[in-house]
Every structure is written in structure tokens, then in C-alpha cells.
Amino acid sequence: MPTRRLNPLCDRIGRENVERVIAEFYLLLRSDDLLSPFFVDLKNPAEHERRIVEYWWIAMGGKPLGAPVETGMVSVHAGLGLTAAHFERWLELFRKTLDSSLDPPLAKAWMIMAGGVAARLRSALAIV
């Protein structure tokens, strides 16, 4: 019987690339007219980005570095007044970042994950 070999996305992308992609993505977010207002009042932007890196790293199959990240993603985003346009723009900027930062197969794999995360969050927030 053949042995199944796992090849998690975290191993194919690498932690350094996850960190780089998120840093580049947040530069775009903070300069975007539609999305930047959500990031202006972050108390600790570096800590926020670290948490986002850790979220994606674990979602891709990586082992947590340090204390586990508690996301509470729905509760964090619930009172922000997000609309479908916000999600669409977020995905557009994420795709742009991935396409300019990673080889196409890796960018596509991560973008599929991002689309799923956005769809689940939109559904949980009842955003049509």
C-alpha cells in the first residue's frame, strides 16, 4: 500500500514568506481609501500583524510559535459596519499582494483559503 505524504501549504510557502506577504498586504490596507479607516486606531499594529501571520501560519498547517492565537474573528468584526464592498476590496488587495509575492500555484492555493475565510466571515456576519 502506498504511503500518503502530506505537503502542507505552510511548508511550501515558508514562514518568512507568510510574514512578508502579510507585511506587504497591510501596507496596502493602510493606504486604501475604503479599508484604511478600520486600521487607523489599532493600538498595536505590529502585534496585530503578528497575530494575523500566526493565524495564517496555523491555518496552513504550521505549528504555533509561542502562545496560541485566539482569533474571535466574528466578534472582532461584528460591530465594524462591514459591507460586501469591504470584503470584495479586501479580497482584491489580498490577491494583488499574493500575485506579486508568490509563485502562481502558491498564490492560488493561499487565495482559495482566503476566499473561504472571507465567505465564512461574511456568512457569520449575515452580510449579503
Provide the annotated binding site: 77
Instruction: Provide the annotated binding site for heme.
Output: 77
Contact at 8 Å (CB) between 29 and 93? yes
Three-state SS for 126?
A: coil
3-state SS string over 62-73?
A: CCCCCCCCCCCH
Sequence length of the chain is 128
